[in-house]
Each structure stands twice: as C-alpha cells, then as structure tokens.
Structure 1
Amino acid sequence: MRVRNKPWAKDKIAEHPEVVIPNPMDVKGHWREVFKNDHPVHLEIGTGKGQFILGMAKQYPMINFIGIEIEASIIVSALEKWLEEPLANVLLLNENAEQITDFFAEHEVDDMYLNFSDPWPKNRHEKRRLTYRSFLKSYEAILKPGGRLNLKTDNQGLFEYSLESFSKYGLQLEHISLDLHASDYKENVKTEYEEKFSQKGQRIYRCEAIFPQ
C-alpha cells in the first residue's frame, strides 16, 4: 500500500525522543532500565499507526511494549496517538527491522508480534518476508528461550508460507486459526488493517510459533 508522505513527520518524531528512541543501538541490553522496571518486553515489528501496540499496552500494563516501524510518515501517527494518551509502558522505534539484533541484546525480548506484514508474494522476494529463515534467526537471537512469535495476517499465501517456514525452523506451532474472528479467542486486539479487512469480509489468519527452550 502506498504511503502518503508527511514531510513534517521526521521533525515531529525528533521532538519526542522520550517516546521514539533516536539511537536504539545505545540502549541495547538496557531496555528495562529505560522503562524503569523489570517487566517483560514485547516487540511488534511493523507497528504501523500504533492501534495494536497501544491497545495491548492498555490491556497489559505490566508488560513493556516496543513498536518498530521503518516509515516515518506512518509511525508519526502512533506517536500522535501516544501524545493524546501517554502510556509509560510503550516506546517506539523508527528503524529497519533488519537491524533488530543491533537494538536488542541476546534473550532481551520475551514475545514478538508480526501483524499484517507485507506478503512479498513474488518468489524472488522471498527473503524479504518477515517469516523467512534469516529473520527467524534474528528473532531467535533476541528472544528468551521458549519465546513466542505471534503472527496475524489476511494473506492466505503468506500464512501458509509462514507455517511451513516455522516448521522447517523447528518452531512449535500453537493456536492456529484460519478465521480468527469466528474463533473463541477472546484476547484479540485489532490493528487498523485488521478492522479494514474484516469489514470487507476477509478472513484473518493467526498462529503462535514458539522457539526452542
């Protein structure tokens, strides 16, 4: 989906380093110190406009949430939502997810979320998919042993690919749903995309992949 450029976004982000951390490499290994507590750290890759991560933070105040989003014109919307209702357990990163091992120390993250990631449907773009094995290797490095990767998507092709990729990597699959909104899962927090797709009658796919202990 084409991103509407907001030329003022980077300046707005720079004005709020207390929320959008400007040099995450400097914080590597010390995220709990930034949050000023010892609560679990959960990471969302591709946080978009922030509806999911802010909703999760409200629902789970004893968990620290970090959202990473590469597009300044998108993450600035998450920042604006935060400024309207500040949450002490939310931080944002305007960074590339390919560099997450530069931002987080070994086993520093407890859980991760991939919500409505770009499916990159062409075979030649397989390595760009966030569930490709090279990304899984990075996730494994920063997740605690037994850490959980939570995936939601409207794209059946990406979902099927991801299940296969997880299995080949040796992950344990749980709570596989082929129609999340018709399931009995009660703890779902919707993203902006999820609301849009479900209103059109599209099915939402979800699963949890657990890394080895």
Structure 2
Amino acid sequence: MGRKKLERFEFIRESPIVLEPEKEIYRTIKGNWRKEFFKNNHPIVVELACGKGEYTIGLGRRFPDLNFIGVDRKGDRIGRGSQLAMEEGLSNVAFLRTDIHRIQEFFDEGEVNEIWITFPDPQPRIKQSKNRLTHPRYLELYRQILVKGGTLHLKTDNDDFFDFSLGHLPASGFQDVISTRDLYNSELNGVHLGIKTKFEEIFFKKGFSIKYLQCKKAV
C-alpha cells in the first residue's frame, strides 16, 4: 500500500466526521444521526457509492441547513473527501464506511429525506444485474430508509443501466418519475447545480450525454 493511502487511512481513523467499524458511534448511529452526530433536526441527504464525495461536499457547501452523508466502502476514497470537508469546515457533512447492502444497519426507517446515486458502476453484464444499485433488492432498502415522499436521484452516462433503472422503479414502490437522457440540454439542467463527479467529467468530455432521473417514494 502506498504512503499516501496509508496517510489517508490514518486520517480517517482520527477523523470525527468519518464513521467506520473501529469507532463506537458506528454501532449506535442508526436512528440517531440528528441527535448524536449533527446535533440538529435538519433533513438528511445520503450519497451512495460516493467515491471521493464530490456530491456530498458540493451539496454541503450549497445547503448549510441540510445534513449530508457520503457512503462508500473504500476508505481511501472517503479519506480524500473527508479531509476536504474538514479543511472547509463543513459541519453538515459526514462519511460512512460500509457496503450499500448493509445500509439498513445505519439508518432507521424513514430517517433519510433524499438519496443520490451518482455515476455508479453500471455492472453491464446480465449476470451482474443483481449488483446494480437500482436492482429491486437495493430499491427496497432505499424505500425503507426514506421518509414517505422522499426523493431518489440517479445520474449516469450508461443507457442500458438507465433503462434498467426506469423499468424497476414503479414495481419497487417509487412514483412521480421525472427523467431526461440529456441533462445539460434539458429543462432539468439546473438540478445538477454545477456539481460533477470525476467520472461525469470524464464521460461528458468524451461526448456521452448525461442521463438523470428523480422519483418519490410512494406515500
């Protein structure tokens, strides 16, 4: 393991805004994010598979009256995002190190107001479909932790993954779907707020159109 990675792992071990298995709060945070961590009653927004946390940090900068949590299993990635958040003094930002399929262990029913999924691995092969973050098994997890009427957002450059996602939402308890296959040239353009992930930058520069959808948990 390289020196920089070791330094980032050391950083997250000491970081008060990163929750990982070695810390006591990791085991007690479910249902207590507002009370134990953020110390407020503001709405909670979660970015799944956040990577370096571009959206978590970008949204945290723009919306100080909301709480943002980036979730990823890679400590190295979270280390980069958490360090930037601390340097900027973003008290409304946190990072959780875990696998997405364990999300119910850390959020109570109805504890989350919004979920963002930004440029996840599309898992292109058919046999990989169960690992797509919009597979029904994952959508059920999101449905349980979202408040009634809570919002789910998705951004991707992959057409097949986008179609797959659209096809599973209604049967998985999501409604009021709004979508576009060319975000930057649509009336929904403002929703991205000028925030781009690393992968979004790469694929956009290569000429791929950005697909976006939002939907609501059925009431």
Q: What letter is aligned with 2:130? A: K
Tell me the equivalent position of 1:29.
31
Q: CA deviation at 1:173?
A: 4.0
SS at match of 1:8: helix
Distance 2:209 2:122 in 1: 15
Q: What pairs with 1:156-167 in structure 2 (closer than 5 Å)?
A: 156-167=159-170
Distance 1:121 1:134 in 2: 17
TM-score (norm 2): 0.90
SS at match of 2:123: coil
Greater CA deviation, 160-169 or 180-189?
180-189
Distance 2:80 2:32 in 1: 26
Q: CA deviation at 1:69?
A: 0.8
1:194 to 200, 212, 216: 200
Distance 2:55 2:198 in 1: 8
Tell me the equivalent position of 2:9.
10
Q: CA deviation at 1:108?
A: 0.4
Q: What pairs with 1:1-150 in structure 2 (closer than 5 Å)?
A: 6-16=5-15, 18-22=16-20, 23-33=25-35, 34-150=37-153
Distance 2:7 2:64 in 1: 31
SS at match of 2:116: strand
- Per-residue CA deviations over 1:49-106 (Å, capped at 9, x if unaligned) read 1221111111111110000011112111102211321201100011111111000011
SS at match of 2:191: coil
Distance 1:102 1:25 in 2: 8
- Per-residue CA deviations over 1:141-199 (Å, capped at 9, x if unaligned) read 11101111100001111001000011332421433010111123213122222122212
Q: Is the 8 A contact 1:46 1:69 kept in 2?
A: yes
Q: Is the 8 A contact 1:50 1:81 kept in 2?
A: no
Aligned residue-pair number = 208
Q: CA deviation at 1:25?
A: 3.1
Q: Is the 8 A contact 2:55 2:196 kept in 1?
A: yes
Q: CA deviation at 1:125?
A: 1.3
Distance 2:26 2:99 in 1: 11
Please, what is the CA RMSD of the aligned residues? 1.5
Unaligned runs of 5+ residues in structure 2 are none
TM-score (norm 1): 0.92
Q: Percent identity?
A: 35
Distance 1:86 1:32, change over 3 A: same
SS at match of 2:91: coil
